[in-house]
Amino acid sequence: MSSSSDSESSKPADAPARPPSRDFLAHLEAYLARRDGVDKLLKISRYSARLALAAGPPLPPAAAARLKSFESSVGLSRKAFRLGKFVQSLNALRAHPHPPPALAILACGGEGVYYFLEQFVWLAKAGLLPAHLLPRLQRLSAWAELLGYVGSIAIKLEEVARIESSVKKRLAEGSGEESEAVRTMRGKLLLKRMSVVQDVADAVMALGDVTDGKGLLGSSTLMASAGLLSALISTHKNWNSC
């Protein structure tokens, strides 16, 4: 019998098969085909530019003006990706049992109202709607976004606690840290914690919009860092899910 057959017979029968590696360009194509994929790349670009302006070395006036123009243009471009996105929040709310929990109404409702209003913010910034409507639309949009994140953070913290409890129960039942079930739950726990951090970062930016950037929330470096952190976490999650 050949040595390769001996090697195969020595492997445990229940050993999980290693998933085939995915071609990078095919993966990238699938990522960029998503609305959120392109949006988050734009978000990284925007907040990287904003952070460079806020915390980087001083730039020549012409270069600073070009970077600021780029940042503003990307910010406006991102709003176009929110057209119709409120339907996603509406369907998420409909997926809950009737009547939906209060936190689900707060999270999905706040997010849905935010995305709905952002369509009109985009139209006002693009010049199709009267400019005098913009401040009120932006304020209402910011409040809806903030309330949505409050609900989302509360829900995800409950989920984190539930997963942590499940991990402790598995370990108490004798499952080792290297068991498939515990490793899977640890992975879910990490992703959920990252999602909480992302929501907190976005909530900080929304709070800055609501308060007109007063006090610490007026720090351009803080706001740009929060935006970039949120964008990187979201990009990581979207990349791994497509």
The 10s digit of each residue's pLDDT in 6-15 is 444 444 444 4
Within the chain, residue ranges assigned H as helices are: 3-9, 24-32, 35-55, 61-80, 86-94, 102-125, 134-172, 180-210, 220-241
What pLDDT is attached to residue 57? 87
**Percent with pLDDT over 70 in the chain:** 91
Q: What is the DSSP letter of 166?
A: H
Domain count, the chain: 1
Residue 228 lies in a domain: yes
79-119 per-position pLDDT tens digit: 998 899 999 999 999 998 888 899 999 999 999 999 999 99
Look at residue 42 and tell me if it is in a domain.
yes
* Alpha-carbon gap, residue 149 to 106, rounded angstroms: 8
Q: Is residue 15 part of a domain?
A: no
Residues of the domain holding 141: 24-240
159 vs 179: CA distance, rounded Å? 21
Structure tokens at 137: 């639309």
Query: Rounded to 5 degrees, what are φ and ψ at 100?
Result: -70, 150
Within a domain: residue 14? no
Residue 110 included in any domain: yes
Spacing of C-alpha 189 from chain mean position: 16
List all residues 6 or more positions away from 113 whose beta carbon is below 8 Å from its beta carbon. Answer: 86, 140, 144, 148
Assigned domain for 231 exists: yes
Residue 151 amino acid letter: G
**Is 19 part of a structural domain of the chain?**
no
User: CA triplet 169, 173, 178: central angle to 5 degrees?
Assistant: 85
Please enumerate, as own/partner, the contacts of 24-28 that have beta carbons within 8 Å and a separation of 24 or more. Answer: 27/239, 27/242
Question: 143-192 pLDDT, tens per residue?
Answer: 999 999 999 999 999 999 999 999 998 888 887 777 888 889 999 999 99
Q: What is the pLDDT of residues 183-208, one digit of tens each?
A: 899 999 999 999 999 999 999 999 99
Give 127-144 pLDDT, tens digit per residue: 999 999 999 999 999 999
Q: What is the pTM of this model?
A: 0.84
In a domain, 71, yes or no: yes
Kindly indicate the confidence band of residue 240, based on its pLDDT and cuts at 50, 70 and 90.
confident
List the structure tokens of 6: 């001996």
Distances (CA, A) of 94 to 89, 117, 162, 184, 208: 9, 20, 23, 28, 31
Cα–Cα distance measured from residue 213 to residue 21, given in angstroms and rounded to the nearest whole number:
46
